[in-house]
Amino acid sequence: MTLPLTPLKNSGTPVWSKNTQQARPWAPALGEKIMRKLGFILLALFCASGAFASTTGAEGNPPPWDTTVFVRGGFNDWGNGPAPTSPMTWDGASYSATIAIDAGTWQFKIADGDWGGLGGPNFGAAPSGGTEIFALGVASDIGANCCDNLEITLAEAGLYTFTMFNIAGDLQSADLVIERVIPVPAAGFLLLSALGGLGFLRRRT
């Protein structure tokens, strides 16, 4: 006797796929954990790259002055006291310093501990005269031993990096740019948010 054939119903998901999902319910969670760990590793490498940046300069390219260069302004009492604050580091091509500054309008200069009297710089506004107004992220010319103060208005308190570069061969002019530093917790939050979004999209597809 021949038994009648019963047609198989198509559930839309192959049996092997269902079995795989049932056997590995941890797979999506493991993927998210790996993505989070990868994000933390990338963030740590980003921070370490700044922490281990050279402060002595490239070999064969010594700093142009033998004295220490400082950022001196109203935000740090013009560096007055037993020793000026906010020293700048030399990386072989430029000077830089990162400073915590309150919101407000501040005047400042780039100078050594004796305002150029020790053979170092005393950079202020370009020789055109008058106080030079800076905007964040915009490089401007500054002049040595000749000029009025520099000035910038900061809308919020935070960390700001001052970078002096393109120093002229006669040491009488240079470029200066001021940039706000994104705090590490905020950068980490943005990175984790992006990774979380990728996980959400992966679950939806």
Q: What integer pLDDT is reported at residue 118 of this predicted model? A: 78
Residue 147 near residue 127 (C-beta atoms within 8 A): yes
First to last CA, the chain: 48
- Check the CA dihedral 95-113-183-42 and report its sign: positive
The candidate with the shortest Cα–Cα distance to 84, out of 69, 99, 98, is 69
The 10s digit of each residue's pLDDT in 126-163 is 876 789 999 999 999 999 987 899 999 999 999 999 99
97 membership: H or E segment, kind and range: strand 95-101
Q: What's the pLDDT tens digit per position in 15-55?
A: 444 454 454 554 455 556 655 655 555 444 444 344 333 34
Report pTM.
0.63
